[in-house]
Amino acid sequence: MAGNKAVAYQGPGRVEVVDTDYPEFELKDGPGVNPANVGRKVPHGAIVKAVATNICGSDQHMVRGRTTAPTGLILGHEITGEVVETGRDVEFIKVGDLVSVPFNIACGRCRNCKEGKTGVCENVNPDRPGSAYGYVDMGGWVGGQAEYVLVPYADWNLLRFPDKDQAMEKILDLAMLADIFPTGHHGCVTAGVGPGSTVYIAGAGPVGLAAAASAFLLGAAVVIVGDLNKERLAQARSFGCETADVSLGDPKDQVEQILGVPEVDCSVDAVGFEARGHGQDAGTERPATVLNSLMTTTRAGGSIGIPGLYVTGDPGAADDAAKEGSLSLRFGLGWARSHSFFTGQCPVMRYNRQLMMAILNDRVHIAKAVNATPIPLAQAAKGYADFDKGAASKFVLDPHGMLGSRA
């Protein structure tokens, strides 16, 4: 293969589909690649032809210029595809397999991987534990919003779908297994969602909607989704959620209107560090607003799952403290109410097989819940722009025209 096309970050507010190299079984120098990773051999890897590769809100943080991502970084960590080549050390994954690629890059050998903490693998990112494709400060593994992508440790990382024809019939649902479905599910599991739970989910973007679908799958009695975006709130209502429009004020009051009490059993933060204020402050960025509001909305002794992204470096933050990830949290309130907080990357491999089975056996329709919308790779820039404007859609790039009219 002579070449490849991929989506590259070109500075704040700009992405472009560029011609780039076809993957090899070696990590080459390039934008964002850690010098210690340059030249790293990958005989344990596989080259995957992307069938579906999604635009994520985490990508959007970089494209807005809210991270230290370098120009030219190839984006994309939500990858589903077909194996077209394997390295000499790959034993079980075969050419032709249709697979989901967890966004966490994990070696399967370190202490954390062996404990199931694949979001903080110790061997793939020289900067710190944890890695992902096409993401700032994650070691420099090339992103998968592309025609082809290299996946290291293929036998460990790849989830093979058992039946290709069945998988292609449900490919938009299965495309959510790379990140947002397990991530939303992780938020709910860590928050303690179970049969009969009342749940508040902050954020009606794709991760929030995936969390809401997961809450129902886990047996929640009532799922309330809060957001400022009326179209996204309507999408949440389309599959049975109650909603809270936080532009009207603190969600606690609307929770009371729905439940008769001003608190829920479990809460999930699916917003992250670009949170906006509530009520009169709805148009102003207030990065601690969601976390502080969840402490008032979650019952004493309850848990708060935090799959929403928080960063250690935010050059676009409103104040110097937030630029380093320091937020004005009411931590004393959380302590007084005996809350448990769960943070960090979702360990996708902990959940993806179970969620795959739920999809294949029609226990959940995640693509419908998040309004998965296929677009050609060439329209990536428009997809990013529409997503940034608040479209109530999960845009799925179709590099090879294999998704057809599936929607």
Residue 406 placed within a domain: no
Cα(first)–Cα(last) distance of the chain, in Å?
Answer: 31
Q: What pLDDT, on a 0 to 100 scale, did the predictor assign at position 279?
A: 82
Burial 27-55 (b: 16+ CB within 10 A, else e): beeeebbbeebeebebebbbbbbbbbbbb
**Relative orientation angle of helices 180-191 and 206-217, to the nearest 10 degrees:** 60
What pLDDT score was predicted for residue 237?
A: 98
Measured in degrees and rounded to the nearest 5, phi and psi for residue 112 equal -65, -45
407 belongs to a structural domain: no
Q: Are 212 and 369 in contact (CB under 8 A)?
A: yes
* Residue 338 structural domain: 181-342
Q: What is the pTM of this model?
A: 0.95
pLDDT at 285: 79
* 283 exposure class (CB count in 10 Å sphere: 0-12, 13-18, 19+): exposed
Report pLDDT for 8. Answer: 97
pLDDT confidence band for 407 (50 / 70 / 90): very low
> pLDDT tens digits, residue range 133-176?
999 999 999 999 999 999 999 999 999 999 999 999 999 999 99
CA triple 336-337-342, angle to 5 deg: 110
pLDDT for 287 equals 83
If asked whether residues 36 and 137 sit together in one domain, one would say: yes
* Same domain as 193, residue 338: yes
Phi, psi of 320 (to 5 degrees): -65, -35
The CATH number of whichever domain residue 117 belongs to comes to 3.90.180.10
Give alpha helix (H) positions in 138-229.
154-157, 164-169, 171-174, 180-191, 206-217
- The CATH code of the domain that includes 256 is 3.40.50.720
Give pLDDT tens digits for 109-131.
Answer: 999 999 999 999 999 999 999 99
What gap in Å lies between CA 197 and CA 266, rounded to an integer? 7
Number of domains in the chain: 2
Name the token pair of 98: 């249709």
Contacts of 169 (CB under 8 A, 6+ apart): none
Count the Cβ atoms, other than its own, within 10 Å of residue 167: 21
Of 342, 366, 384, which marks where a domain is finished?
Answer: 342
Looking at the fold, whether 154 and 250 belong to one and the same domain comes out as no
Task: Determine, yes or no, domain membership for 405.
Answer: no
Among candidate residues 172, 248, 242, 200, the one with its CA nearest the CA of residue 405: 172
Q: Do residues 252 and 356 both lie within one domain?
A: no
210 plus 61 within the same structural domain:
no
The span from the CA of 369 to the CA of 366, in Å, is: 5
Of 327, 342, 357, which residue constitutes the final position of a domain? Answer: 342
